[in-house]
């Protein structure tokens, strides 16, 4: 498997110029708060003092999970393909938000247990008809894992624009993400498992007990790719490849919630500078997401700072779409807001 090069993009001279530009806008120092940090980050990613986000691509990666047959979700597995059809028909939350914000929406069938008719907005890149049941063995083979990562890279290479917004759909994928979080960070599984699609307390307890068994079964899968193959899923593997390719191309990567964040976690293990290109859209209401953000922070004990905290736990890319206008505003502030000098406004009194 060929992984793209993802170099460090920190440029201290450009960062200084961007900061000076922000400081000289017609406002008190730091008065636009975290929007200023966002503007600086986007300028560094795009390597310019006048960043503009063009042709943004919201991609929803979808697949089924064999583990869903064990009751880890409040919904049956056929909801995966039904929701894919809903995305394409324009009726899902992410479809509505993508229309509102002029985001190109693509749905990728990475391994849904259903055969879709060809239609606009759908890419079929199946790795199989859903992963195997990870309570009985590995969710996928290492070859399938490699194929998924390569597929994600190819998908992004073929997309226009300089911004990628991540979304996903797959009944059972919260369980896969919880196990990956626990295995790759060392956090106790009980702190990583949440309600997902809406399990009650008893359902969460049953799921946690089952996932403990799966972790024990695959105790040897301790590095990123073996762990990804062990727990799944096809959509997460494909998303990992998409993140790596977008990072290599210096696209701005807008990360949705819990599942998208675990794809970034795996990608970061393979290429540490990936997270320099990532904007974390929101803090999910899923229990493990705070731990995920802590693991993905810019330095140890400094969590990644999401833009929104709305109690979301839908997935689909909905949080990424909701945060998108903030990225546009950050760019416009850098490009269009007047400086004290250009506006003829007096600066702060000495």
Q: Residue 182 is encoded by which pair of tokens?
A: 């626990």
Residues 324 and 21: their CA atoms lie apart, in Å, by 23
> Strands 122-124 and 163-169: what pairing?
unpaired
> What is the C-alpha to C-alpha distance for residues 134 and 232, in angstroms, rounded to an integer?
8
SS3 for the chain, per residue? CCCCCCCCCCCHHHHHHHHHHHHCECCCCCCCCHHHHHHHHHHHHHCCCCCCCCCCEEEEEEECCHHHHHCCCCCCCCHHHHHHHHHHHCCCHHHHHHHHCCCEEEEEEEECCCCCCCCCCEEECCCCCCCCCCCCCCCCCHHHHHHHHHHHHHHHHCCCCCEEEEEEECCCHHHHHHHHHHHHHCCCHHHHCCCCCCCCHHHHHHHHHHHHHHHHHCCCCCCHHHHHHHHCCHHHHHHHHHHHHHHHCCCEEEECCHHHHHHHHHHHHHCHHHHHHEEECECCCCCCHHHHHHHCCCECCECCCCCECCCCCCCCCHHHHHHHHHHHHHHHHHHHCCEHHHHCCCCCCC
Q: Of 266, 210, 207, whose CA–CA distance to 236 is shortest?
A: 266
Evaluate whether 285 touches 315 at the Cβ level (below 8 Å): no
Catalytic positions, please?
316
Closest CA to 204 of 212, 194, 214: 194
């Amino acid at each position: 498997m060929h992984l793209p090069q993802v170099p460090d993009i920190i440029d201290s001279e450009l960062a200084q110029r961007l900061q000076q530009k922000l400081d000289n806008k017609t406002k008190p120092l730091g008065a636009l708060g975290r929007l200023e940090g966002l503007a600086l980050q986007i300028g560094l990613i795009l390597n310019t003092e006048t960043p503009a986000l063009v042709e943004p691509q919201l991609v929803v990666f979808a697949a089924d999970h064999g583990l869903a047959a064990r009751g880890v979700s409040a919904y049956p597995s056929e909801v995966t393909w039904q929701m894919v059809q809903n995305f394409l028909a324009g009726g899902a939350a992410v479809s509505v938000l993508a229309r509102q914000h002029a985001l190109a929406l693509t749905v990728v069938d990475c391994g849904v247990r259903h055969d879709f008719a060809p239609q606009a907005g759908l890419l079929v890149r199946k790795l199989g008809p859903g992963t195997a049941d990870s309570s009985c063995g590995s969710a996928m083979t290492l070859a399938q894992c490699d194929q998924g990562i390569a597929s994600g890279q190819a998908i992004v290479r073929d997309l226009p624009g300089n911004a990628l917004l991540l979304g996903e759909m797959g009944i059972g994928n919260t369980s896969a993400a919880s196990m990956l979080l626990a295995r790759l960070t060392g956090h106790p599984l009980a702190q990583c498992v949440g309600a997902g699609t809406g399990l009650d307390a008893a359902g969460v307890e049953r799921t946690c007990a089952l996932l403990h068994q799966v972790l024990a079964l695959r105790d040897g899968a301790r590095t990123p790719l073996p762990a990804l193959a062990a727990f799944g899923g096809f959509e997460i593997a494909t998303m990992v490849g998409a993140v790596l390719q977008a990072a290599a191309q210096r696209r701005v990567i807008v990360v949705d919630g819990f599942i998208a964040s675990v794809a970034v976690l795996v990608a970061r293990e393979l290429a540490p500078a990936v997270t320099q290109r990532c904007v974390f859209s929101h803090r999910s209401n899923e229990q493990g997401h705070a731990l995920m953000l802590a693991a993905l922070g810019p330095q140890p004990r400094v969590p990644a700072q999401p833009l929104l905290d709305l109690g979301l736990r839908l997935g689909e890319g909905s949080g990424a779409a909701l945060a998108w206008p903030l990225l546009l505003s950050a760019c416009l502030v850098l490009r269009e807001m007047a400086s004290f000098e250009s506006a003829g406004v007096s600066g702060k009194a000495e």
